[in-house]
Amino acid sequence: MYILTLFPGMFPPVFNTSIIKRAQEQDLVRIRTVDIRGFAKDAHKTVDDYPYGGGPGMVLKPEPVYEAVDWIKQELGREPFVVLLTPQGRRFSAGLARQLAQKPDLVLIAGHYEGFDERIRCLAHMEVSVGDYVLTGGELAAMVVLDASIRFVPGVLGDKESALQDSFSDGLLEGPQYTRPAEFRGMKVPEILLAGRHEDISRWRRKEAIRRTLKRRPDLLETACLTFEDRCLLEQVIDEEKASEARGDNCGHHKTN
């Protein structure tokens, strides 16, 4: 995975930490930052220029970006999959992260300044946005895209951390998680998690994932893959939520009283 950026120094603190650091040490992923400025031809290493027709800000020039991608192609000996980070791109999601994780040679281009020369778009196989807001540069977007995609590279997460249990992996949000102590400031861990009956625990987890999705992102339920049993759980949850509303409950935690 290559990241084309004007600020390579932003990446090491993020990628030399935790799971991504371990993935690189195990050779499961290889991340390289490529400084676009290194491909500028003039003595001043110019990578931006004024916009034709006037207007605010500076525009990233096409030449160094094209040169950088050519250099990567040469180094790889094959065509990489090039993603341009832009707020105008396809909205990033878990599905897209999974798709990008399967690309053996991924290049992310992080823009900066007011934007990039339109001809840079021709380099990209896909344009990706991390959300409907504008960042000062594509570096943070590249970190988000890489971090979320790397989680889907086989072997990066152990069984215990499996991405399959995460929110969105099957179209639902993940349900609540607890660790010790069993009671904290009057808030109790649900009894079922303490009883050690694995089937009951899986059913409870599935039901709570459905409940959380219903309460926070009901739109996801329209496209989630729900089994017959899930639909029964959904009906139960709807009934329980109506009853809870009628009682005026307002806290999901399991307090002692």
Active site residues: 87, 114, 151, 166
Residue 50 or 184 with smaller CB distance to ligand SAM: 50
CA distance linking residue 172 with residue 206, whole number of Å: 9
Check binding of 64 to ligand SAM (CB under 6 A).
Answer: no
CB 140, min distance to ligand SAM, A: 8
Q: Which of 128, 57, 54 minimizes the C-alpha distance to 90?
A: 128
Would you give the binding string for ligand SAM spanning residues 82-121, x where CB under 6 A is met? ---xxxx---------------------xxx-xxx-----
CA distance linking residue 182 with residue 178, whole number of Å: 8
CA distance linking residue 142 with residue 108, whole number of Å: 7
Check binding of 251 to ligand SAM (CB under 6 A).
Answer: no
Helix-then-strand count for the chain, H and E: 9, 11
Report whether 174 contacts 212 (CB < 8 A): yes
Among 141, 146, 156, 224, binds ligand SAM (CB under 6 A): 141
Among 135, 193, 221, 226, binds ligand SAM (CB under 6 A): 135
Phi, psi angle pair for 35, to nearest 5° = -80, 115
Would you give the binding string for ligand SAM spanning residues 168-197, x where CB under 6 A is met? ------------------------------
How many residues does the structure list for the chain? 257
Contacting residues toward ligand SAM, per CB under 6 A: 85-88, 110-112, 114-116, 129-131, 133-138, 141
